Amino acid sequence: MENLKISSRTPHPLEQLSVAEATVARDVILGAHSKTVIDFRTISLEEPAKAELLPFLDAESEGKLSGVARPRRLARISYDVLGENKKYGFYESVVDAEEGKIVAQDLIDEKFQAPLVLDDFGHLLKAVWESKLFTDAIAKFNIPEGFEVIVEPWPYGGRDLEDEDKRYFQGLCFAQDKRNGNPDSNFYAYPLPLIPVLDARAKEIIRIDRLGTGGKDDLLAKGTHAKDIIEHCKGSEYVPELLEGGTRKDLKPLNVVQPQGPSFTITDESLVEWQKWRFRVGFNPREGATIHDVRYDRRSIMYRLALSEMTVPYADARAPFHRKQAFDFGDGGAGSCANNLELGCDCLGHIKYLNAIDTKADGTIKVSPNVICLHEQDNGIGWKHTNWRTGRAVVTRNRELVVQFIITLANYEYVFAYKFDQSGGIMIETRATGIVSVVNIDPGKTSHYGNVVSPGALAQNHQHIFAVRVDLAIDGTNNTVVIEESHPVPFSPERNPAGNFYEIIQTPVTKSQGFDAAPHNNRIVRIINPNKINPISGKPVSYKFQPPPTQKLLAQPGSIQSRRAQFTNHHVWVTKYRDHELYAAGRYTLQSQDEANGVTDAAKRGDSVENTDLVLWSVFGLTHNPRVEDWPVMPVEIFQLHFKPGDFFGGNPSIDVPSQRNLSSILDRDSVVKT
């Protein structure tokens, strides 16, 4: 295995930037703008072009790296320049971190907004309390003694046309009960019906939006709320020390113990090897954890896998909620919002962590520890057969390797996992949890726009629509997507005399396009390598998945919500590969009015996608009409997307998984023998 590994002093082309490399990149940028004020946003690895990287990875997999060109280490730096006349410029530059020189420097068109960073939120929080508009508005309410006003920064959402060149943020307001002295008392239980709007350039509050608090009979009316605005609200705690009655006492420990350690290894801070799988884990501020160069027994399966985008549009018809629509990857970056899994209670068993780097506005580069965790888990029976003649049962467990990261976006969290199994399967799992977004509603009212989940707290109906970008490489880059369906066949003496026959119909996707799930036809999307035939079945090797037929975006075509999230128009997209074309809703989503350079535009090119390097995008989602049980923190809603081999292998890849009995299990039969 030695020749698979590059020297520890030469980072692998897919390894994240080190602090040292990021520091070089920062200094190069500072040097290039020496007379201006720079606010750094993000610094991260600029992945090599595929034409450079792929030959390197192929050679690496073959153990024949000597003489193969190693792609340069590049850094992408995103930053604001405050130039003369206080004019802002938003730049994205690429620096060669080995040679310390600028490779590319782009001043981004003013019609695009830079993704937000935590500092943007800091400015909002500072400005609200300096704003007389805001303090006057708050003063009109009776906030009970012992409560403090909390402002929760949010992206502004899809801007109206007249705001073309403005950069705004908005704050959702709540009151926190401070009487218990606990800083984690749940303020979301006390929503206040106003939203301050920040002009981010001027760093001042320009407007206070008033929110309706009415119910079904009040339609779009505002201002129905009373002065005693949270009198009818009720504390709803989730931190254990504030729970009435405390936590339950009858749950006994369930420990996962791996006495010999985990079965996987991580080397070079990015290379993971486990059960014939071999892949690299990356991390960037936009997508969080990314998976690269996935191979099984040295055979290529995926070049790159990552969550690409998620939009969360809200369905409350009352202004300004039409703007309540987050793009949780494009607006602020899933990686930037990743939890540091320091508490260790997110997983069981033997857990390994990976770090990332984090860039402050002043250019300070810090390690952000434990943003990714890896662990193995058991997922029940993997396969079983009993020979009823002999009574011999052979049964294996279904072990999985999980690469996980968790993001917090104000009130809400997502748990994202890439899971690899022993049968050649790759699963993308999302878990939605956290606190549903609530607004104040008058006592005793119900609403068309959501559900009252706590007295005075209306949880608004919304959707979560995810896009996963899957750059497959089934035994190489020349692949074709085939739509496969099972169809009934009419009775006929020649083809279907007894009516039991059904046929499989395959339709290759020839031009880049979007299409939908069709579960009534058992629609399967198969990514084949037409140049390689499985010798047993006589069919092309492939991976396949069943596109989940989840509900698409409900906002009206032509609405701002719809225009900026056109990737939601189809469940599946197939596009021709292009470097850097990673983002389903486009690179710049913050305050966007339209999806720009997203997957829709890529598909519109009408490229040929037969027997070539193509990218598959899976779009799926959840229409979330909240229930009382989602309060105060909602139980996970789990969504899984599963890629499986289809005639890729010569048999069940997990057939050699040992079937020994686990000796630590306790078989308890004493009390249950019938007489």
Among 364, 507, 537, 608, the residue binding a copy of itself under the rule CB under 8 A is 537
Applying CB under 8 A, which part among 85-93, 131-139, 425-433, 600-608 lies near a copy of itself? 425-433
Applying CB under 8 A, which part among 37-45, 84-92, 466-474, 657-665 lies near a copy of itself? 657-665
Among 7, 34, 66, 671, the residue binding a copy of itself under the rule CB under 8 A is 671
SS3 133: helix
Q: Which of 168, 412, 414, 588 is catalytic?
A: 412
**Residue 269 Cβ vs a copy of itself, minimum distance, rounded to whole Å:** 6
Name the residue nearer to a copy of itself (CB basis): 447 or 512: 447
DSSP assigned state of 246: -
Site string for a copy of itself, 588-627 (x = CB under 8 A): -----------------------------------x-x-x
Distance in angstroms between the alpha carbons of the first and the last residue of the chain: 60
**Residue 562 Cβ vs a copy of itself, minimum distance, rounded to whole Å:** 7
Residues 514-533 that bind a copy of itself (CB under 8 A): 517, 519-522
Token pair 């596009």: residue: 575
d(CA 437, CA 461): 9
Q: Tell me if 251 contacts a copy of itself by CB under 8 A.
A: yes
d(CA 375, CA 53): 28
Q: Tell me if 105 contacts a copy of itself by CB under 8 A.
A: no
Contact 628, 475 (CB under 8 A): no
SS3 422: coil
Nearest CA-CA partner of 451 in 303, 594, 315: 315
Q: Which two tokens stand for residue 515?
A: 């299409």
Applying CB under 8 A, which part among 47-55, 57-65, 428-436, 579-587 lies near a copy of itself? 428-436
Catalytic (active site) residue 601: no
Q: What is the 3-state secondary structure (H, E, C) of 542-583?
A: EEEECCCCCCCCCCCCCCHHHHCCHHHHCCEEEEECCCCCCC
Q: Which of 80, 328, 421, 647 is catalytic?
A: 328
Residues 367-396 that bind a copy of itself (CB under 8 A): 367, 369-370, 376-378, 380-390, 392-395
Name the residue nearer to a copy of itself (CB basis): 49 or 256: 256
Cis peptide before 320 (omega within 30 of 0): yes
DSSP assigned state of 331: T
Q: Which two tokens stand for residue 592?
A: 């966007």
d(CA 65, CA 247): 56
Catalytic (active site) residue 442: no
Q: Tell me if 291 contacts a copy of itself by CB under 8 A.
A: no
Site string for a copy of itself, 191-230 (x = CB under 8 A): ----------------------------xx----------
Tally Cβ neighbours within 10 Å of residue 448.
11
- State the Cα angle at 658 between 653 and 661, rounded to 5°: 145
Residues 150-169 that bind a copy of itself (CB under 8 A): none
Residues 20-39 that bind a copy of itself (CB under 8 A): 20
Q: Tell me if 562 contacts a copy of itself by CB under 8 A.
A: yes
d(CA 626, CA 247): 24
Name the residue nearer to a copy of itself (CB basis): 113 or 422: 422
Q: Tell me if 183 contacts a copy of itself by CB under 8 A.
A: yes
Residues annotated as catalytic (active site), given as ranges:
328, 412
